[in-house]
């Protein structure tokens, strides 16, 4: 099993690279943001309760996000996965570690993709033109998401640094350059 957390601010390129890494290492890929967006699109009760958080650029409650991941792990527990956008708080990380331990698994590596703030905003606004994501279209919401990342999520790096599982890479450059840095960082921890 190989469990990889892709970590970084909104717009750092996690989604794009997660898909490539999942193919390269033959792993599952879960994006908690995607799971939430799909609930919203399907108009489920869970989706409806998530809409406000997403549109304001705030984090959804830990308990709900953790249950989404728990559900996913029930059916995807054989070869490992790329976790994209999760965990986003220390509470999520602690519960996640326990969840994995219960099935005899662990996080192998967290890789941080470092991208400067102005580049994050530029990339998200560009993405918003095609993705139609409402939280990608307003600069205020984007700045709030980055602020929420700094306030609540950045600290999760400490959790995995203490476990000796943290790696950082430069997230600027071509998709191929960033991918090469990611695989090098991941392979150093396998």
Contacting residues toward ligand AMP, per CB under 6 A: 10, 31-33, 36, 53-54, 57-60, 65, 85-88, 92, 135, 145
> Is residue 172 a contact partner of residue 40, using CB atoms and an 8 Å limit?
no
In whole angstroms, how close is the CB of 82 to ligand AMP at the nearest point?
13
Nearer to ligand AMP by Cβ, of 55 and 184: the residue is 55
Nearer to ligand AMP by Cβ, of 135 and 167: the residue is 135
* Contacting residues for 167 by C-beta, under 8 A, at least 6 apart: 109, 110, 111, 112, 185, 186, 188, 189
In whole angstroms, how close is the CB of 66 to ligand AMP at the nearest point?
8
Nearer to ligand AMP by Cβ, of 104 and 130: the residue is 130
Nearer to ligand AMP by Cβ, of 13 and 57: the residue is 57
Rounded to whole angstroms, how far apart are CA atoms 186 and 117?
24
In whole angstroms, how close is the CB of 145 to ligand AMP at the nearest point?
5
Closest residue to ligand AMP: CB criterion: 33
Distance of CA 80 to the CA centre of its chain: 15
DSSP-derived secondary structure for 9-47: STTSSHHHHHHHHHHHHT-EEEEHHHHHHHHHHTT-HHH
């Amino acid at each position: 099993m190989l469990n990889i957390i892709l970590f970084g601010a909104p717009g750092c390129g996690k989604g794009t690279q997660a898909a490539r890494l999942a193919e390269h290492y033959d792993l599952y890929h879960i994006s908690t943001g995607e799971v939430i967006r799909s609930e919203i699109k399907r108009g489920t009760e869970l989706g409806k309760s998530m809409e406000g958080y997403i549109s304001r650029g705030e984090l959804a409650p830990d308990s709900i996000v953790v249950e989404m991941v728990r559900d996913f792990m029930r059916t995807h527990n054989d070869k490992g996965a790329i976790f994209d956008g999760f965990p986003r708080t220390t509470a999520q990380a602690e519960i996640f570690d326990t969840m994995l331990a219960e099935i005899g698994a662990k996080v192998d590596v967290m890789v941080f993709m470092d991208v400067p703030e102005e580049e994050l905003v530029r990339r998200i606004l560009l993405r918003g033109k095609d993705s139609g994501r409402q939280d990608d279209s307003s600069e205020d919401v984007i700045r709030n998401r980055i602020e929420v990342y700094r306030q609540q999520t950045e600290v999760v790096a400490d959790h995995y640094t203490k476990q000796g599982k943290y790696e950082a890479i430069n997230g600027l450059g071509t998709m191929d350059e960033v991918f090469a840095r990611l695989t090098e960082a991941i392979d150093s921890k396998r």
